[in-house]
Chains A and B, each alone.
Chain A
Amino acid sequence: MRAWCAAPATRIPNGARRSRRAAVGRGSIQCEAAEARGMTTDETEAGPLAGLTVLELSGSPGPAFGAALLADLGARVIVCEPPGGSALRRLGPEAVRRVWWPIAARNKLSLAVDATHPDAAPVLDRLVGVARMMLRDDDAPPWREAAARATNPPQDVHLFPTGADRPELWPWSTAPELAGAASGMMALTGENDGPPVLPEIPLAEHATGMLAAAAALFEQRAAVLEGRAAAPLGFALHEGLMRMIEWQLPVAAAQGRAELRCGNRFPMNANIGNVFRTRDGGLLTVSAATNAVAERMLRMIGGEALAADPRFRTQADRRAHMDEIEARIAEWMGRHDTAEALALVQANDVVVGPILDAGELMADPHVAAREGFVEVALPEGGSLPMPGVMPHGLGGAVRNAGPAPGADSDAVLGSLGFEPGEIAALRRTGVIWA
């Protein structure tokens, strides 16, 4: 049985759980597309989201990441690409453009459809008829009109840039890239006397994408169990990260000032934590977030005398004397090479770790044992390493890299019941552009 190939039932049974048997054996465009790419499948690749069809109506990283997480676990994600292709294909400099689409659109199907074309309605109507969810980053008027016409429309999940929903309250830029600045994360990152810093990862967009994927699944489940339509969900792009920083608002309210970035120390200087350089120039992160680990850390670098030093006994004591503690750790690190230091911290059950870059990560045996990266063939030949399926324990697989524009147009339209002649006509008129 190839469960992940299953297309969804076209309507959700009222109040009933859809059986696995019922979900399997309907149209299987993903199988056809996969087989067309020379792939084989088996049930271990099914994933828990087999049978869930998702429309991705987005040219930006947030919804694309959320949809990719769903696709990794077996959902059938159809990227509906406007003429010219998804804007996500054109983000960043040349090197990034070569790798981002294959990764961001992995496991997805590409349908090249001009939703604004006057003759597009039949295609859109059938798509919203089979899809259970649409992820969008803008108003997407033709799609929302099609959903409004449908008897059983897909759930509407909207991820929009900070401020785009309330321009009267937000006269500033709504560039998605600035969502991290709106979350509080950026103000907390950097040296205490330096500028705020963003990581070179679309962190805000990806965090909100992951939250949206989880929230949408919860809502889908409740809707099926209760025999009702799934409620629409909206997210501003800063909201995933902002919800993560649980303490920033009450702490600022209580202190009358914001807690701000403090280099690599813990926020609020809560316990021993920083980055130190070893004798051979390596960089190690120290994290002693609890009393027990802090005590073991002090014992390792200064023996019982240091562990028992009254200045460093409690968390509050350590916070008050952090400069001195860090000087002792820096001195200890400066006397040990990286490998030696790591062996000692392991022997002493102290929590210290290396700062790895991607090259080191790809060479790491633990990352390899957990399939942290998988090698995925590209449609044009060659292959790229990309992160494996996360989280573990649910099945799923990386089946294919991001497809060429319209690579799955025929298969998708065929599964919707369009005959070859009709598909050819849709191409002639430009509704389907690739």
Chain B
Amino acid sequence: MSAPLPLRGVKVVELGSVIAAPYAASLLAEFGAEVVKVERPDGGDALRNMGVRANGVPLWWHVASRNKRLVTLDLKEEEGRAAFLALVDAADVLLENNRPGVMDRLGFGWKALSARNPRLVMASISGFGQTGPYAPRPGFGKIAEAFSGAVALTGAPQDIPLHVGFSLADACAGLAAVYGVAAALHARDVLGTGRGAHVDVALYEPMLRMAECQAALTRLLGTAARRQGSNDPWGFGAPGERRIATARCADGGWIAAILEPGSTLDLDALAAAQARPDALAALRAAGVQAAPVQDGMSLQQDPYFAARGDVIRTQDGTAGTLAVPGAVPHGYDRGGLRDFLPSGPPAE
């Protein structure tokens, strides 16, 4: 299958900065939308300066901005405002993650923009959402993760709870905004309402939704659901249940295994005695479910992920040869899309 991208012709304006709205816009671009990212004149998106660089090229920024067109507008000046409104008037989707109130103060609130362009779908992502007593508060991903209940459900019970080690709340909020945009476009164009909608995502809400059993379990058990180590999904590791165990192999690679109740397997000893492929083979021979714990390097060395298109190789004139994430789902004709925002002259 090599199907045409489904969002061909859909125009998206992104007024976003680290991390949720830019992530949402990059997903829409990978479904074929034409994304124009609007940046402030004073240095633009802070994502330009985050994380590791290669030959001076900020890698995260160049992945997060691939397939977008970038414009800088001063929204406090008349010319910049007019240009922004011209973009929004022609747009199907506006993505933004400013603190609630900022868009209204700029004159770009939902009511104003929707009155100009009734077909507009606007997705606003903020720390605590557009309504409720905490709406004006600043919110970053880590605060949202802690607020969602998910951190309390991560880590060993005797230790300080853990944040998942990447921008989980931001990325989940970006994905939830994309889902909201998909539903809103469906209503507009398939149900045929002809009208847009204002999608409102609080950074913590997608994770609260994903941790779907936490409140009910707390009610049922009479005590808050608590972290129990690595127990994905719900309930692994409870007495008499299967559990997920991890161990470090002789070559430094980690494995995760599902141990049945009553298992007497010494996973640590088995792993410590051999390299990861041998340890995994031994576990498979013993009928134990186990798999490698992949990291950023092993993902690009394992042929499975390259074969699926999850890992693609790209060349940048300045940053050099890199591995970057492929777009999902696979099977679309993405021949016109970029793997990496080019940073310099073409590579030799």
Looking at A51, A202, A222, A235, which has the most chain B CB atoms within 10 Å of its CB? A222
Report the minimal beta-carbon distance from A370 to chain B, rounded to whole angstroms: 5
- Residues of A within 8 Å of B215, CB to CB, are 358, 361-362, 373, 384-387
User: Using a CB-CB cutoff of 8 Å, which residues 164-207 of chain B contact chain A?
Assistant: 164-168, 171-172, 175-187, 189-193, 197-202, 205-206
| CA distance in complex: A235, B285 (Å) | 28
- Residues of A within 8 Å of B165, CB to CB, are 185, 188-190, 261-262, 267
- Residues of B within 8 Å of A175, CB to CB, are 258, 289, 291
Pick the residue among B143, B212, B228, B296 that contacts A248 (CB under 8 A): B296
Flag the segment in A118-126, A136-144, A282-290 that touches B: A282-290
- Residues of A within 8 Å of B297, CB to CB, are 252, 257-258
Residue of B nearest to A365 (CB): B133
Cβ contact within 8 Å between A172 and B280: yes
User: Using a CB-CB cutoff of 8 Å, which residues 183-229 of chain A contact chain B?
Assistant: 183-191, 195-207, 210-215, 217-225
A42 at the interface (CB under 8 A from B): no
Report the minimal beta-carbon distance from B59 to chain A, rounded to whole angstroms: 4
| CA distance in complex: A234, B3 (Å) | 13
A397 at the interface (CB under 8 A from B): no
Report the minimal beta-carbon distance from B258 to chain A, rounded to whole angstroms: 6
Contacts beyond the supplied A91-B235, A361-B147: 16 A-B pairs with Cβ under 8 Å:
A17-B192, A100-B213, A181-B292, A186-B256, A195-B230, A202-B234, A221-B182, A224-B190, A242-B328, A247-B59, A249-B323, A252-B323, A285-B145, A351-B139, A385-B216, A393-B197
User: Using a CB-CB cutoff of 8 Å, which residues 289-320 of chain B contact chain A?
Assistant: 289-300, 303-304, 307-308, 310-311, 319-320
- Residues of B within 8 Å of A92, CB to CB, are 233-236, 238, 241
- Residues of B within 8 Å of A14, CB to CB, are none
- Residues of A within 8 Å of B183, CB to CB, are 47-49, 73, 217, 394
Pick the residue among B176, B191, B205 that contacts A20 (CB under 8 A): B191
> What are 10 inter-chain pairs, A to B, with CB distance below 8 A?
A52-B190, A199-B162, A199-B227, A218-B185, A249-B324, A252-B323, A267-B167, A275-B160, A285-B146, A356-B147
A323 at the interface (CB under 8 A from B): no
B18 at the interface (CB under 8 A from A): yes
Pick the residue among B193, B254, B310 that contacts A242 (CB under 8 A): B310
A163 at the interface (CB under 8 A from B): yes
- Residues of B within 8 Å of A284, CB to CB, are 146
| CA distance in complex: A287, B246 (Å) | 29
6 A-B pairs with least C-beta separation: A188-B165, A252-B296, A92-B235, A48-B187, A244-B171, A353-B143
Cβ contact within 8 Å between A205 and B233: yes
B interface majority secondary structure: mixed
B102 at the interface (CB under 8 A from A): no
A-B contact count (CB 8 A): 537
- Residues of B within 8 Å of A163, CB to CB, are 291, 304
Residue of B nearest to A244 (CB): B171
| CA distance in complex: A202, B217 (Å) | 15
Cβ contact within 8 Å between A357 and B218: yes
| CA distance in complex: A373, B204 (Å) | 13
Range class of the A interface residue count: 35 or more
Looking at A290, A355, A385, which has the most chain B CB atoms within 10 Å of its CB? A355
Pick the residue among B6, B146, B208 that contacts A221 (CB under 8 A): B6
**Per-residue 0/1 for A387-405: is the Cβ within 8 Å of any B Cβ (1 yes, 0 no)?**
1001111100000000000
Cβ contact within 8 Å between A392 and B199: yes
Pick the residue among A196, A211, A289 that contacts B256 (CB under 8 A): A196
Flag the segment in B47-55, B68-76, B81-89 that touches A: B47-55
**Per-residue 0/1 for B314-348: is the Cβ within 8 Å of any A Cβ (1 yes, 0 no)?**
00000111111101111110000000100000000
Cβ contact within 8 Å between B233 and A202: yes
Residue of B nearest to A232 (CB): B1
Cβ contact within 8 Å between A48 and B328: no
Cβ contact within 8 Å between B246 and A96: no
| CA distance in complex: A203, B281 (Å) | 27
Cβ contact within 8 Å between A254 and B216: no
Given A201-B153, A210-B179, A357-B225, does the pair A393, B238 have CB atoms closer than 8 Å?
Answer: no
A166 at the interface (CB under 8 A from B): yes
A414 at the interface (CB under 8 A from B): no
| CA distance in complex: A339, B129 (Å) | 23
**Per-residue 0/1 for B1-38: is the Cβ within 8 Å of any A Cβ (1 yes, 0 no)?**
10110111000000000100001001100010000000
Cβ contact within 8 Å between B232 and A203: yes
Cβ contact within 8 Å between A93 and B134: no
- Residues of B within 8 Å of A260, CB to CB, are 295
